[in-house]
Structure 1
Amino acid sequence: MKKAFIYLLFAAFAFPAEAQTLTLDECRAAALEHNRTLRNSRFDLEAALQTRREAFTNYFPQVSATGGVFQAQHGLVQADFGMTVPQLGTMNLPLSMVKRGLVGGITAVQPLFAGLKIVNSNKLARLGEEVGQLQLRKTEAEVLEQTDTYYWQIVSLRDNLSIIGAVERQLEEIHRQVKLSVRAGLVTSNDLLRVELRQQEIASNRLKVENGLKVSKMLLAQHIGVDWRGFDVGDSTLGEPEAPGTFYVSVEEALDRRAEYQLAEKNVEAQKYQKRMERGKRLPTVGVGAGYLYYNVADKDVDDGLVFAQVSVPISDWWGGAHALKKARIRERQAENDRQQAREMLAVEVERTWSEVVEAYAQIELMRRSVASATENLRQNRNFYQAGTAPLTDLLDAETLYTQSRNNFTSACAAYRTSLARYMRVTGR
Structure 2
Amino acid sequence: MDINNYIGCKCRLFVRVLLLTVLLFRATKGSAQAYNGNTFKLTLEEAVRFAKGQNKLVQAATIEESAAGEDLKDAYNAALPTITANGSYQRFSRLTLFTDGLSHSATGPRKPTPNGAALGVDALFNIYSGGKQRALQSEQQSRLHLARLNAKDQSGSIALQTAQQYLELVRLTDLQQLIADQLNRAQTRVNNINALYNNQKVTKSDVLRAEVVLSNVELSLQENENNLTITNQKLDDLLNIPDTVRISPVDSAGMAKPAISSLQSFIEAAGVTSYAIQKTTESIELQRARLKGIKSGNLPTISFYTAYGLNYPNYLFFPPVDQAYAIGFVGLKAQYSISSLYHNKRKVEAARLRIKEGEVQQQAVADNVRTEAHSLYIKYVEALTRIQVNERSVEQAQVNYKIVNTKYLNQLSLLTDLLDADNLYQESRFNLIRAQTNALSIYYNILYVSGNL
* TM exceeding 0.5: yes
- Give the secondary-structure state (helix, strand or coil) at the position aligned to 2:451: coil
2:252 aligns with 237
Match of 1:311 among 322, 334, 337: 334
Aligned to 2:15: none
Q: What is the match of residue 409 of structure 2?
A: 386
Distance 1:105 1:192, change over 3 A: same
Which of the residues 175, 180, 191 maps onto 1:176?
191
In the alignment, which residue of structure 2 is the partner of 1:128?
A: 143
The letter of the residue matching 2:365 is A
Give CA deviations for 1:378-421 in whole Å, capped at 9, x if unaligned: 11110110111112121112111211111111111111110111
- Give the alignment of 1:326-341 within 5 angstroms: 326-341=349-364
Give the aligned partner of residue 347 of structure 1.
370
What does residue 414 of structure 1 align with?
437
Alpha-carbon distance between aligned partners in 2 of 1:17 and 1:364, rounded to the nearest angstrom: 34
Residue 130 of structure 1 aligns to a residue whose secondary structure is helix
In structure 1, what residue type is equivalent to 2:298? Answer: R
Tell me which amino acid in the other structure corresponds to 2:250: D
Shift in CA distance, 422/17, structure 1 to aligned 2, threshold 3 Å: closer
2:57 maps to which of 34, 37, 57: 37
Does residue 215 of structure 2 align to residue 214 of structure 1?
Answer: no
Residue among 324, 330, 345 paired with 1:322: 345
1:88 corresponds in structure 2 to none
Aligned to 1:21: 41
Q: Report the Cα offset of residue 348 of structure 1.
A: 0.9
Secondary structure, counterpart of 1:383 in structure 2: helix
Q: What are structure 1's unaligned runs of at least 5 residues?
A: 1-8, 81-90
* Inter-partner Cα distance in structure 1 for 2:92 and 2:340: 40
Evaluate the alpha carbon distance shift between residue 403 and residue 78 of structure 1 in structure 2; reply closer, same or farther with a 3 A threshold.
farther
Farther off after superposition, 414-423 or 97-106 = 97-106
Q: Aligned partners of 2:151, 2:68: CA distance in 1, in Å?
A: 12
| Counterpart position of 1:49 | 69
Kindly report which structure 2 residues correspond to 1:13-162, keeping only aligned pairs within 5 A, or say none.
Answer: 19-70=39-90, 75=95, 97=110, 101-162=116-177
Report the Cα distance in structure 1 between the residues aligned to 2:36 and 2:298, rounded to whole angstroms: 72
Give the Å deviation of 1:347.
0.9
Instruction: Pick the aligned partner of 2:448 from 413, 417, 425.
Output: 425
Measured in 2, the distance between the counterparts of 1:310 and 1:253 equals 53
What residue in structure 2 maps to residue 202 of structure 1?
Answer: 217
CA distance in 2, matches of 1:236, 1:211: 21
Q: CA deviation at 1:225?
A: 2.1
SS of equivalent to 2:412: coil
- Deviation readout 1:144-202 (Å, 9 max, x if unpaired): 22221111111110110000011111111111011112222222222111111111111
TM-score scaled by length of structure 2: 0.83
Offset at 1:204? Answer: 1.4
- Is 1:244–1:361's contact at 8 Å kept on the other side of the alignment? no
- Match of 1:374? 397
CA drift of 1:93 comes to 6.6
2:279 aligned to which of 249, 263, 269: 263
The one-letter code sitting in structure 2 at the alignment partner of 1:32 is K
List gaps (5 residues or longer) in structure 2: 1-29, 315-321
Are the structure 2 counterparts of residues 93 and 35 from structure 1 closer, same or farther at C-alpha, using a change threshold of 3 Å?
Answer: closer
